[in-house]
Amino acid sequence: MYNIFCPVCKKTILGEAEAADRWNRYRIALAAQKMPDEYKDSTALITCNDCEKKSTAPYHFAGHECQECGSFNTVSSLNQVSHSELN
């Protein structure tokens, strides 16, 4: 396996089609790994290394999809925000 991220800027260095295929495989893998009940409605504050935007994504132990560009090349803050805390 090789690193698909630039060591300097942290952006994904795959071509568009190859990146889309990889992110789709991530979506399938995450869907197959259900979150425990205490986390299923939680969200994470993330920053995307590819589009450089911040957003809120459904929390998952294995990764977070950028709501802006669909990349999984994201970093999350240490804080989780549950939906019940937002209401």
What pTM, to 2 d.p., does this model score?
A: 0.81
pLDDT at 40: 85
Residues 6+ apart with CB under 8 A from 14: 4, 22
Averaged over successive runs of 10 residues, the pLDDT of the chain (87 residues) comes to: 84 92 95 91 93 93 94 82 52
pLDDT at 3: 83
Phi, psi for 17 (deg, rounded to 5): -65, -40
Pick the CATH number of 16-86 from 3.40.50.450, 2.20.28.10, 3.40.50.720, 1.20.1200.10: 2.20.28.10
Break the chain into its structural domains and give their ranges: 16-86
